[in-house]
Structure 1
Amino acid sequence: MNRGTTGHTVPSIAGGVPCQAFVPAPLPPCPPLEVDNKLQGRINQAMLALGRLDAISTLLPDASLFLYSYVRKEAVMSSQIEGTQSSLSDLMLYEMEGQPGVPMDDVQEVSCYVNALNLGFERIRAGHPVAHRLIMEVHEALMTSGRGISRGPGQFRQNQVWLGGHRPDEAVFVPPPATHIADCWSQLERFINDQPEATDPLIKAALAHVQFETIHPFLDGNGRLGRLLIVLILAEAKVLHEPLLYLSVFFKKHRQTYYERLQQVRETGDWEAWLLFFVDAVADTATHAVTMAQQLNQLRAYDRERLAELGRLAASAQQVLDALFETPIASVNKLVARSGLTHATVNKALAALEQRCGIVSEITGQKRNRVYAYSAYIQILNQESP
């Protein structure tokens, strides 16, 4: 539906240049959303996919093992949208005190994303609402190292910013002036917390994401936090009980359409077109996550069966493989700590897993401080589409 612009512009100054900044109207949309049969059908498909995703714990012997790596995959993909070059392997190497193959700032930013996500879910589980305090805490965690530490962690921006273009008066979009952010956020917070009326959680997450990105309340980290906001809203509504829905891969793959839909909402008020894109992202992403969990479950069962050929080493190799299923890139010392085996036994098991089974590979080429990767596991995680 073409409602016309979803806000108004006010004069502002960015970098000494006069410009027109956009202040969004409060949610929900006015006139109300038109949910026709087409949109309702796609919403239903997304909700079915979310239901299967939320039941993912039934697909794996230990869902926490999948969560560890899947959360880190999301951190990598979300940060790559913002320009970092870190890979999943870089992050895991960094977390075990290895040396990543990219600039340290990049991998620190990704690690901060993991911490921010975990903090957000801890707060939701403790009963905290998605409100100002939680958002500030999560943003501070997101920006506590790397380049973010000098970009106002946990504080609304104090300056006018613009998106796209080399100067603000020719920008693709100019968010609200800093003096309007508190009011804009307060209005969004009321909507998220069902004031004055309740909104379906999936629709709420979709609309709130656009509004957050339009307000652009922070100097940096808005894209990552705006994507986190989606899963936090769904978790608070108990649509999801674990942090498993991440749309970064879909948004990255369809980046141009994503930005076009956001701007289309601002200029024409076509929330329905955005919703169609959003629920497709949810359905595709949730379906892919379930498929990935099934593949990992099958991989674990298949590789465990192969260990029988190792004879007396089979039991030790299984303990090492279980440790690698938890963290698929690990040093010998980490595997010793996780498996409870001796260094000598772990080294023998790794040699058998690498040379006789081809399940793991040593990735440093060194004789000391060796690091092993569960190659097939990493390949499954690195898949970007169903």
Structure 2
Amino acid sequence: MPRSRSPKPRPGTWPPKDGGPDSSVTDSSPSLPGLLPSEVLRLGRSLLLDPERVQDRWIWQHPDWPGFTQDWEHLVEPLGNARQALGRLQMASRVLDPRSAMRVLAEVLAQEGVSSSAIEGEGINPASMAASVARHLGLPVDPTAPIDRNAEGIAAVLMDAMTNRDAPLTVDRLCRWHRALFPESRPGLAIGVLRPGSVHVGSNISEEESIVHFLAMPRERLEPELDRFITWFNDSKGAMDGLVRAGLTHLWFVTLHPFDDGNGRISRALTDLALAQEPIAAPLARMSRCILQGRPDYYAALEQAQAFKNGLNVTPWLRWFLEQTAQACAQSERVVQATLAKGIFWARHAEDPINERQRKALNRLLDAGPDGFQGGMTTRKYAALTRCSPVTASRDLAELVERTCLRSYGAGRSTAYELIWDALLLGQ
């Protein structure tokens, strides 16, 4: 049966280094006598969970589930900030020409696919992900990028959530997404169907003991609960604030945990779908990269929201989600600005005699963005990137400084080179 992908995290830590809402342990045990609620639920490896024996621990056990409530006075500020960030992103993207807009979309979607998988400890080759997205968008594909069926599946889910935003959500659609995420069979994993048993998310603390962070509702409740969620999702479009709806979508689905694995990735795809259904669509507003950067906070926010003791008031979760939405919009805005800067740069240096080595290095710096190339370009890095000698690398870089393509800082062996991003981002 599928188990948590955690190696052995330190006692009491969650999430495991390479696990998350996707990392589940299937449980088909009929009972677990004598198990009582506690702040930390520890299980011997040989024991399995029975949801009926663990009462008043998780939000779905609340008698009023799923009657989520929120304190709007505490959401005004984060909601306003998220709306402003979304507006700035939309304004920035409007100045892009169609070709540049498509390149930005491809980059953002590729980052989304890689990041959503990385949250769950699933490594995806960025080049494979970029090539898969490019194929779906009809853009030129890097012929050297290795083909990855997992990347193809993730790209298919992202594209369906973006391009078929008006199609109703159904159980069949969710199962198609699940099959796309798992293109190859895995022992003990039910693919493309709802989980056959109950399931819990846990991390191992020793060979004999694990900590349970979340227990999903009993299997017999899953179909009616999932139908209720889908009905709400389809009926709530346009009937409530779209950003709050996206936050509730994410929490509700991952709490249902309808699949053996992949629930986190599908919940984030549903978040993308909810955002795409906004009256003013936001295809560049993607959450996974931002969540990945603050992954421990993500799991902590989920664990707090899913705890029975905190009731059905999910204001703290929504505040966290809206703050991440604002940050995600700002990250995508920087991608837009970097794309504009790249166009400005090459227009400015169109007549300069730049050789292919120099062009490759400059494009690497431009693609990395203002904060993406740590330590600047050095002679050693340049030589490795372009496969030339250190002498040639030093000469090429000196020429680029002379043509004001780059500026240098440091001295001697510590000399590094960088683009003049402050001027580029200001369009100067």
- When the two structures are superposed, what TM-score results if normalisation uses the length of structure 1? 0.70
- Whether 2:291 is the aligned partner of 1:251: answer yes
Check whether the contact 1:20–1:169 (CA below 8 A) recurs between aligned residues. Answer: no
- Whether 2:334 is the aligned partner of 1:288: answer no
Residue 77 of structure 1 and its aligned partner are, at CA, apart by 0.9
Residue 195 of structure 1 and its aligned partner are, at CA, apart by 5.9
Structure 1 equivalent of residue 71 of structure 2: 34
DSSP-derived class of the 1:171 partner: strand
- Whether 2:213 is the aligned partner of 1:172: answer yes
Specify whether residues 238 and 195 from structure 1 end up closer, same or farther in structure 2 by C-alpha distance, changes over 3 A only: closer
Specify whether residues 199 and 86 from structure 1 end up closer, same or farther in structure 2 by C-alpha distance, changes over 3 A only: same
Residue 168 of structure 1 and its aligned partner are, at CA, apart by 9.7
What letter corresponds to residue 314 of structure 2 in structure 1? W
Residue 132 of structure 1 and its aligned partner are, at CA, apart by 2.7
What letter corresponds to residue 223 of structure 1 in structure 2? G
Specify whether residues 204 and 93 from structure 1 end up closer, same or farther in structure 2 by C-alpha distance, changes over 3 A only: closer
Check whether the contact 2:104–2:335 (CA below 8 A) recurs between aligned residues. Answer: no
Equivalences for residues 1-386 of structure 1 within 5 A: 13=29, 17-20=48-51, 24=60, 26-29=65-68, 32-36=69-73, 38-62=74-98, 63-92=101-130, 96-98=142-144, 100=146, 107-124=148-165, 127-145=166-184, 151-166=189-204, 170-194=211-235, 198-242=239-283, 244-267=284-307, 268-269=310-311, 270-310=313-353, 353-355=355-357, 358-360=358-360, 374-380=363-369, 383=372
What letter corresponds to residue 135 of structure 1 in structure 2? L
* Alpha-carbon displacement from aligned partner over 1:80-137 (angstroms, at most 9, x marks no partner): 111123342353468645365xxx8xx432332111111222322xx31233343233
* Alpha-carbon displacement from aligned partner over 1:213-269 (angstroms, at most 9, x marks no partner): 111111121111111111101212334253x22211221222222111112122213
What letter corresponds to residue 328 of structure 2 in structure 1? T
Determine the C-alpha separation between the residues in 1 that align with 2:198 and 2:371.
Answer: 38
What letter corresponds to residue 124 of structure 2 in structure 1? S
Check whether the contact 2:238–2:279 (CA below 8 A) recurs between aligned residues. Answer: no
Residue 165 of structure 1 and its aligned partner are, at CA, apart by 3.2
Check whether the contact 1:26–1:188 (CA below 8 A) recurs between aligned residues. Answer: no
Check whether the contact 2:238–2:278 (CA below 8 A) recurs between aligned residues. Answer: no
What letter corresponds to residue 287 of structure 2 in structure 1? L
Check whether the contact 2:90–2:282 (CA below 8 A) recurs between aligned residues. Answer: yes
Query: Which is higher, the Rg of structure 1 or of structure 2?
Result: 2
Residue 33 of structure 1 and its aligned partner are, at CA, apart by 1.6
Structure 1 residues not aligned, in runs of 5+: 1-10, 311-351, 362-372
Taking only aligned residues, the RMSD between alpha carbons, in angstroms, comes to 3.2
Residue 12 of structure 1 and its aligned partner are, at CA, apart by 6.5
What letter corresponds to residue 13 of structure 1 in structure 2? S
Specify whether residues 241 and 165 from structure 1 end up closer, same or farther in structure 2 by C-alpha distance, changes over 3 A only: closer
Structure 2 residues not aligned, in runs of 5+: 1-26, 31-45, 53-57, 133-140, 374-428
Specify whether residues 130 and 168 from structure 1 end up closer, same or farther in structure 2 by C-alpha distance, changes over 3 A only: farther
What letter corresponds to residue 270 of structure 2 in structure 1? L
Check whether the contact 1:117–1:138 (CA below 8 A) recurs between aligned residues. Answer: no
Task: Report which of the two has the higher share of helix.
Answer: 1
Identity across matched positions, percent = 22
Determine the C-alpha separation between the residues in 2 that align with 1:51 and 1:196.
Answer: 20
What letter corresponds to residue 61 of structure 1 in structure 2? D
Residue 353 of structure 1 and its aligned partner are, at CA, apart by 4.5
DSSP-derived class of the 2:29 partner: strand
DSSP-derived class of the 1:172 partner: strand
DSSP-derived class of the 1:85 partner: coil
Specify whether residues 130 and 376 from structure 1 end up closer, same or farther in structure 2 by C-alpha distance, changes over 3 A only: farther
Specify whether residues 271 and 23 from structure 1 end up closer, same or farther in structure 2 by C-alpha distance, changes over 3 A only: closer
